[in-house]
Chains A and B, each alone.
Chain A
Amino acid sequence: MNIPSSFVKRGIAGVLGTAILFGGLAACKDSFLDVAPQGQQEATAFFTNQAQAVQGVNSIYANLRAWPLAAFAYLAVTTLTSDDADKGSTTGDASFLNEFDTFTFTSAQTTIESYWNGQYQGINLCNQVLANVPPINMDGNLKNRLLAEAKFLRAFHYFNLVRAFGGVPLVVTPSSVNSTPEQLNPVRATKEEIYTQIVTDLTESSAVLPNTYGSTDVGRATKGAALALLAKVRMYQQQWNDALSLSEQVMALGYSLAPDYEAMFRVAGENNSESIFEVQAQEIQGNCDASNSQWAEVQGFRPNGWGFFIPTADLVAAFEPGDKRLPATVLYRGQTTAQGDKIPDNAPNPYYNKKAYVPGPVGACGYGKNQNIRILRLGEILLINAEAANELGQTAKALADVNRVRVRAGLAPITTTDKTALRNRIWQERRVELALENGDRFFDLVRQGRAGTVLRAQGKLFVDGKNEVFPIPQNQINITGGVLTQNPGY
């Protein structure tokens, strides 16, 4: 056969070219396909050094400012349900919130789910730290302190959950892709088991946390914070001896009542001599996402703020004449504040929460982004101490505590020694001292066993034996395939 030589050449060229290109492409395959995630830090490289341990703990504090923990969900569940607050804003605005005012919410209400998820998001951040920081090679004292901070914050979140729902899933280790289906889908623990965990966490953290911090760490959990929260928890458990001794331990730590009640709630009054624990907020103009607390924004007077969760007429009437705490708690329509802000005469609501008032123009990141959320302060500890003392028959001690608070408010001391009467006076004092501050009122009414009586008197459809706790979110029951059981009546 006569084959032209060019044909052969072409053939060889073709075969060679094919071989080279195929071969070349095949050879590079292994490294070619290893591509790490771009612009993201892998978890395997996190929680490996001291700086990252600190970052992990920072995130738990930061999360306390998140929307479900600081704004609608938290305020709707803890405050709007009480006799202290109405929905506020305009009639049609966020009218679903009325369901909390009237107790017509059902298990489908997502605001309740938001509350649930928000608390657990905080718990996960704590669990991540508690699971991942111990193996890190770092300063031992700092490590212990960071772990104690995380335990304090975990207890704080569980306390919010157990008061709202009763028993909830007890998650103390972080879930991961390696978790079993059972670990990912825990059943509800009992209310007692949750309280046991809270007490353990607070007891352990109070043993480690320092009394105070240097100026660059102000806002971190202190020994006082852990003891104060534990005292409060013990009060909710009616463990009066513990509540008494713990509150006394706090009182011995050097806190003192701030002389001016109202000034405590201005930005300048943050972290004052009375303050035990506050959620720290700060407007950072270049980073509005970090200035994300909307606690003051949703409550601020309209139109600067959103004007929700306004004082009820019943709350306004609850203050005794001359109580300095009333003008510190309530802003009135048409009022001009000492700082020169005028509440519009046509503002849609008669009252606004003055504890959420931030003077001056709206900031670059929104209204009231500098406002800390006051969680625990000496005023409350005195009232815990008073309540515990009265229950234990230590009337004089109880009266002394209550009167310290009253005197600062410009009121005359009380003198009743009747246990029941004094209990009612302490409860009343607790209401006006802490009104619209940190959402204890509804839980207090439940704890005091009079929620139905008090709330129905306000026209709310509170049902005894049902509304003491909130429904487990139906969505969560769906997701868990029914592993979570519903609270009675829902």
Chain B
Amino acid sequence: MKNFSHFPPIWRLVRLGMLQVLLSCTLVGIASARSGMAQAILERKITLQVEGQTIKATLSQIAKQTDIRFVYSQQLIGAERKVTLRAQNEPLASVLDELLAPLKIQYEVSEDRVVLRLPSKPTSANVSAPQDITVTGRVLDDKGEGLPGVNVVVKGTTNGTQTGGDGSYTLTAPDQGTLVFSFVGFNPQEVAIAGRTAVNVTLAPDTKTLNEVVVVGYGTQQKRDVTGSIASVKGDVLVNQASQNAVSSLQGKVAGVQITNNGQPGSSPQIRIRGTGSVLGDPSPLYVVDGTFVDDISFLNQDDIASIEILKDASSAAIYGVRAANGVVLVTTKRGKAGTPRINYNGFVGVQSVTNKVKMASASEYATLINERNAAQTLATNLPSTDWFEEISRTASVHNHQLSMSGGSEKVTYSVSGSYLKQQGIVKNNDYERITARLQTDYNATDHIKIGYSAAFTNTRSNDVPADQIFYQAFITPPVLPVFKANGNYGDSFDYPLGNFANPRATLARYNQRSNNQRLVSNVYASINFLKDFTFRSSLGINYGVGQYRNYQAKDSLTTTQFRQRSSLTSSNRKDSRWLWENTLTYDKALGDHRITGLLGISAQRDQYNQIIGSINDVPYYSESSLYLGLGDPTTARIETPADKYTFASYFGRVNYAFKDRYLLTATLRFDGSSKFSSANRFGIFPSVGAGWVLSEEEFIRDLGVFDLLKLRGSWGRLGNNNIPSNIAVQTVAVGAGAPYYTGIFGGQPYFGGNINSLAARVLDWETTDETDIGLDLGFLENRLTAEVDFYNRRTNQAIFDIPVPGSNGFQDPTTRGNYASLRNRGVELSVRWNNQVSEKFSYNVGFNTNYNQNKILDVDAIGAQIYAGNLPVGGVQTTLTRPGLPIGSFYGYVVDGIFQTQDEINASAQRTVAGLKPGSFRYRDLNGDGVIDAADRQVIGNPNPRFNYGVNLGFRYGSFDVALDVQGVAGVDIYNANKGVRYGSENFTKDFFDNRWNGPGTSNEYPSAALGGTDLNANTWYVEKGDYIRLRNVQIGYNLPKTVVSTLRLQGLRFYANAQNPVTWFSYKGFTPEVGQLRGSTGATSAGVDLNVYPLSATYNFGVNVTF
């Protein structure tokens, strides 16, 4: 770009003026030099009337009338294009201008010939040609506000700039050139300069989203070129959601992505993409934040996120090879843009409260039930009642503040942000604090070398509560127990003939644990563009975390069951580090109708984790400052040092090819090696191929005039999952500090022992997932209506299962791991979106997405080809069965046929031989009709895998107001309500149970008596309930202060918003929440949907303000 900055200002003006004079003289000169013969030809008169006729035919008509010849390349000028033209005795020049100018065809008269050509590609010579002028202007958005960061380029050149903070720009351009304005999210616009020095432009938002750029693995791609299934969510959608974790904000937004929230502050929601495709451990996707692999993104403030892309199918995810089987979530954070600094504050304050609380039996109801249960007057029915949920929970506050600044010049762009979040838990004593700081810089060292980095630092601090235990305790603890006794001591179950129950308030009071974690996620890169089409990029990502917690259990005597003879202090320090070094070489070339992008890459990764956990007794408590291990009794000191380490080496490549923007092809190959597997079978190959056909580019579809977009795409690929512990196939020994229970005692002294008490996993290989995807992208009515449909079939082979081994082998862990099964997830995804800008003031959009997924086990290599799981902690009850033909972890048990009303009914039934059965017990159906109820009378009684997930997203904008509303739901899913059946004795009951129980002949044929126990606790249909729900996920109302008011405040923008998250959830399930993840204390998808966790839902109400300075 030509730059006059080396001239002093006055000289610059003078020179500019002189230049213009000079330029116009030159142009006149050229014109007059031509005038001789050409002028005469151009003045020949023409009369013509054509309608929808090809250019070729039109030109030949003109040629006849004027007796000249046209010279052109039919292909180049697109001579088959149809035109309409009307001329009545007009000069040739104006007819040609009228005909050719809109088609961007230039002409030149040479003797008796007119040569047609497309505008010549400017060379570096004519960029600095003397006809350049300085153009200034401002780019505005549809609301009339300045748009910073818009690319302004002189068409056909690389000469360009970006708009500044207020949307203004200055650049030098040929006076007859064309400026192209482009900005993500807006329709690009071309404006002829036509000699003007001021060009102001208003960009219209891109409602099509078709030219949208999406982030793909190791690069970006135009959405229309994508052959796979990628869901893209922009940062502004997340900002409407005032949640603390960006993943949580995705709930109900993306078809095929199921998100299960967890109410604990600082915790991460569970995310499953296209069903449960993996059985063992964590079937979570891979998260990639700006190229760095992380395990979860709770360290990010969602205001820092520019976009989240979810790679759902094999074609898009296969570039991540052995880590991609559960999908990939790509997070791109905001980067600075050239222009004046943009400073923004966004903050909200809010409250959270428990919703959908299950009503428990009161003291008198409980006493009635216990007396019925024991058939004796165990308790008086007039005892005062304690509502334990009320006692442990509270209305909690949350507030979050973020301040960011971004900007830069053409050389350097930057973005800096900091945020502070403070969230109380809905459980008393629980709070969480997070500070984030982010710094990011991109530096264009030369025109071809770019370097940059991003670094995000997060510090979290929390006061913890035993969240898993506390809600369970509140559920089971008898309401007859007071919080405090008259003498001020904690209410004690020893005072009642009920068994041992912890006082939940005492549990909270004695629990003293603090955690503090720091994490740095950073990435530094350099890229060099060479030999015109090649870019080499090297990036190093570092993810470094340290964490401490200390747990102090004071010497206390709170109740008979909650006492501690000696105090105990546990202190832990952990450090994890991961580096990821990746080098990629990209080739990008457009040749006529062909566009090709090639990528070759190589990557190495090392993960390491170390922890030191020390514990000691008798540390005195003077203040928090005395809680150090050094102050305890040295003879009681213990230390543990868990650690892990693993590495990856990978090679990968991808080719994207597009022909005429119509036929698209993507092929990827990744070759991955991991230290988690033995050297013999450590490398795997993960190929994928995807193809797309943009039918709407074809004449025959375009002629229909129906589709703005019609794209058919299909892909197949193979993905891997190595999300398993390291070295599990190595047989290890239980010995030393890791196996203190193997200490032999002889002569009163301990002697350390060790032995082999486990069965090494028979893991031969990682899981592979073969996935086929067929999709259709549609756009109608000027793309106001868009839709995407996908059919997928994911087959997970060699799924790593924990399969039970017979107890006679004598292993401590009764399961072993190996590639024991294959399973399938098959489904359909649909998203439909309607966007309408009704008027300048009013616009709205409606989105709907849903998916149907069917999960099925194809093969199990376990003994007996079936796995019973979902073990409840009482009575040996197993609730689920996984075997070929069934969805994974199907509920399995007896069918309840009513309640025995009398002993005579029992005596006449198939259950007469069951010892101790009483009226009020379940009558089970004799499925095989053999007159005996036994294990053979069980069947599948429910499916914990949701068949439908759906979301509805509505948005309205009227003038300064906007409203967003999200509804989300799950249908076709069952929950095993184990809370009802895990009964050791005198646990509390729900009010629902009290109201509906059997308590004498004829009282109920559905609910059992309070004495339920024995075979009543076996898995049966009474415990299985519908888990469907619909939730008002998020409602937000925003108000943008009018421009006039804002500018008097010297601000760029000011917005107020109010937001409600999860205010209402409708469900019939009788537990606390229909969002049931994993059975408490279990791992693996074979024990999903069994509710023994009873963590209530909470609603959050926020009020926020967003200021741009």
Residues of A within 8 A of B (CB): 10-11, 13-15, 17-18, 21-22, 25-26, 28-29, 32-44, 46, 52, 54-63, 65-66, 89-96, 99, 102-104, 106-111, 113, 116-117, 120-125, 127-129, 132, 168-169, 171, 174-177, 181, 184-186, 213, 215-220, 280-282, 284-287, 289-290, 292, 302-303, 306, 348, 361-364, 461, 463, 473-484
Contact = CB atoms under 8 A, between A and B. Distances in A.
Given A14-B528, A103-B915, A26 B602 contact: yes
Interface string B585-623: 100000000000000101110100000000001000000
B497 A43 contact: no
For the complex of A and B, the 5 pairs showing the least CB-CB separation, nearest first, are: A481-B864, A124-B810, A92-B985, A93-B499, A58-B744
Contacts of B682: 33
Given A46-B735, A62-B741, A106-B1014, 15 more contacts: A28-B604, A34-B679, A58-B754, A59-B757, A61-B746, A91-B497, A94-B985, A95-B499, A108-B1018, A113-B807, A117-B814, A124-B756, A176-B759, A177-B731, A184-B809
B267 interface: no
Interface in B524-540: 528-531, 534, 536, 538
A103 to B, nearest CB: 6
A128 B758 CA distance: 11
B807 A120 contact: yes
B99 to A, nearest CB: 37
Chain B interface size range: 35 or more
A60 B757 CA distance: 11
Nearest to B651: A26
Contact of A219 (B745, B878, B935): B745
Interface in B494-528: 494, 496-500, 528
Given A125-B810, A184-B809, A33 B675 contact: yes
A120 to B, nearest CB: 4
B759 A121 contact: no
B1024 to A, nearest CB: 18
B842 interface: no
Interface of B: 370, 374, 378, 448, 494, 496-500, 528-531, 534, 536, 538, 560, 565-566, 581, 583, 585, 600, 602-604, 606, 617, 633, 635-638, 641-649, 651, 673-675, 679, 682, 726-727, 729-736, 738-757, 759-762, 804-812, 814, 862-866, 868, 874-878, 914-916, 935, 984-986, 1013-1015, 1018
B636 A285 contact: yes
Given A92-B984, A285-B636, A478-B868, A36 B808 contact: no
B1035 to A, nearest CB: 45
B203 to A, nearest CB: 35
A14 B876 contact: no
A37 B730 contact: yes
Contacts of A56: 753-755
Contacts of A93: 498-500, 984-986
A362 B565 contact: yes
Contact of B752 (A39, A58, A121, A303): A58
A481 B750 contact: no
A128 B498 contact: no
B645 A35 contact: yes
A479 B749 CA distance: 40
Nearest to A478: B868
B754 A361 contact: no
Given A58-B744, A58-B753, A177 B984 contact: no
Nearest to A220: B746
22 contacts: A10-B448, A10-B530, A28-B604, A35-B645, A37-B727, A42-B732, A46-B756, A55-B754, A57-B753, A62-B753, A90-B498, A92-B374, A96-B1013, A108-B877, A184-B806, A184-B809, A213-B746, A289-B743, A290-B750, A361-B565, A364-B565, A483-B863
Contacts of A287: 638, 740, 743, 750
A26 B743 CA distance: 47
Contacts of A104: 915-916, 1014
A219 B746 contact: yes
A451 B762 CA distance: 46
Contacts of B984: 92-96
Contacts of B729: 177
Contacts of B637: 286
Contacts of B378: 91
A290 B741 contact: yes
B922 to A, nearest CB: 14
A43 B731 contact: yes
Contacts of A280: 744-746, 748
B741 A216 contact: no
Most buried by B among A26, A39, A107, A484: A39
B986 A91 contact: yes
B530 A171 contact: no
Contact of B809 (A59, A110, A124, A475): A124
A28 B647 CA distance: 12
Given A33-B679, A102-B915, A14 B531 contact: yes
Given A95-B985, A285-B635, A109 B759 contact: no
A18 B528 CA distance: 10
Contacts of A463: 915
B752 A55 contact: yes
Nearest to B584: A18
Contact of A92 (B498, B585, B762): B498
A41 B733 contact: yes
Contacts of A41: 732-733, 735-736, 754
A129 to B, nearest CB: 7
Contact of B642 (A26, A39, A59, A479): A39
A463 B985 CA distance: 26
A180 B90 CA distance: 97
B652 to A, nearest CB: 12
A172 to B, nearest CB: 11
Max count, chain B CB within 10 A of own CB: residue among A94, A185, A284, A479: A479
Given A40-B732, A55-B753, A171 B808 contact: yes
